[in-house]
Amino acid sequence: MKLTNFAPANRASIEQLEADYTLLSSSEWISSFINTMPEVVAILNPERQIIFGNDELMKLLEITDIKKLIGARPGEALKCVNSTVMEAGCGTCEKCRYCGAVNSILESQVKSQKISKDCRITTEENGIHEYLDLKVTTAPFKFQGNTYSILSIEDISDKNRRSILERLFFHDILNIVGSLKGVSDLLIRSDNDNITSGKYIGIVNDLSKELLEEILSQRVMVFAEKGDLEPTLCETNTLDILNEALSYLSHNKVAANKTILIDEHSFSGIIQTDSMLLKRVVINMIKNALEATNKGGDILLNCVEENNFILCSVQNPGIIPLNVQAQIFQRSFSTKGVGRGLGTYSIKLLTERYLNGTVGFTSSEELGTTFFVRLPL
């Protein structure tokens, strides 16, 4: 008996799978029905295994024979990174507790009704990660005395991406522009007081830099998601990156009443990388740490050399709940509400796809939470 940390692990026998496939594939009306649907459609047995599907499913998975999928569960067919964690496969590891797909299937089976849920899946093929936002709908289906489930999948990745980028762009940009307008009004009313005017001009300059940085940041993410980003390698000092990121965020609203420190033993060395992208990654790690830190808290930046790799890290005293840990780095997932969710995702996307590095995190009561990026020296 295979172990599971969530959904049942048992699977149907090969003989039962073949019998179900023969029954469904021999029905002309079933084939016609599911192929008229614009979404990806799979018919599952009670063990959550695929026994039939439509042409859209085969097109998505780039196969020409549906028989190649028979017996696979949805996450296995899509190559979800969590489907290989447990020997029992899709739906059985701890992280699967928070998967919209498996929960849609299980809830539909229990309630015998149609259930729709949003689902975030990270897939991996040939070492390349892809991030999918899906709307999964499961409905019970009876045919010739047998009970099955019809699973339909709608890719809402583009919709969610546009929503998040638009929300971030308008929200963050408008905040900065609002502050810029307020300071410029004060500058106009300063009555040519050189000291006061100089102070306001300095603030205007800082806000202008922040505005430009936000616009460039959104532009980078749009290009990165499309695969059109071209890294520019140059010699970069690791400690300079930490200092520049700290300087950029030290006057940010999110840093108010919090302290950002750089470990005095931080490694100062030269690496070949895209300094602009690396700085954005570190800035996003610091932003996430600041948002998770209460007033009066400290954020610690560090950089160490480790087995021909550079490890840049950001530590904060907070603890990430287990249900949140399971969904970190997924696109459109956020603890900060609707329309957020590019922080940790952008860290992973930029680091692993464009900087040839890896990302990770640890979280415990004793040491707090540390996010890190590992880059070749």
With respect to residue 5, please indicate whether it lies within any of the assigned structural domains: no
Question: Hunting for tokens 């003989």 — which residue is that?
Answer: 15
With respect to residue 1, please indicate whether it lies within any of the assigned structural domains: no
With respect to residue 300, please indicate whether it lies within any of the assigned structural domains: yes
- Structural domain including 310 reads 230-377
With respect to residue 7, please indicate whether it lies within any of the assigned structural domains: no
For the segment 279-294, what is each residue's pLDDT rounded down to a tens digit? 999 998 998 899 889 9
With respect to residue 35, please indicate whether it lies within any of the assigned structural domains: yes
With respect to residue 74, please indicate whether it lies within any of the assigned structural domains: yes
Residues 150 and 189 in one domain: no
Using pLDDT thresholds of 50, 70 and 90, give the confidence band for residue 137: very high
Helices (H), 79-156: 100-111
Within a 10 A sphere around the Cβ of 251, how many other Cβ atoms?
13
CA distance 97 to 99: 6
DSSP label of 80: B
Among 226, 241, 261, which residue terminates a domain? 226
Among 155, 180, 203, which residue terminates a domain? 155
Residues 30 and 135 in one domain: yes
CA distance 133 to 155: 6
Residues 357 and 246 in one domain: yes
With respect to residue 371, please indicate whether it lies within any of the assigned structural domains: yes
Residue 37's H or E segment, with its range, is none
For the segment 201-224, what is each residue's pLDDT rounded down to a tens digit? 877 877 787 788 777 877 887 788
CATH assignment at residue 43: 3.30.450.20
Question: Hunting for tokens 């996450």 — which residue is that?
Answer: 75
From residue 153, alpha-carbon distances to 225, 230, 277, 350 in Å are 21, 33, 34, 28
Residues 199 and 283 in one domain: no
What percentage of residues in the chain have a pLDDT greater than 70? 92
Residues 136 and 190 in one domain: no
Higher pLDDT, 336 or 91: 91
Residue 336's H or E segment, with its range, is none
Half-sphere exposure of 93 (CA within 13 A, CB side): 15
Verdict on whether the full-model pTM lies above 0.75: no
Beta strand extents in 113-224 (DSSP E only): 115-125, 128-143, 146-155
Burial (CB count within 10 angstroms: exposed 0-12, middle 13-18, buried 19+), residue 206? middle
Within a 10 A sphere around the Cβ of 29, how many other Cβ atoms?
7
Q: How many domains does the chain have?
A: 3
Among 226, 255, 280, which residue terminates a domain? 226
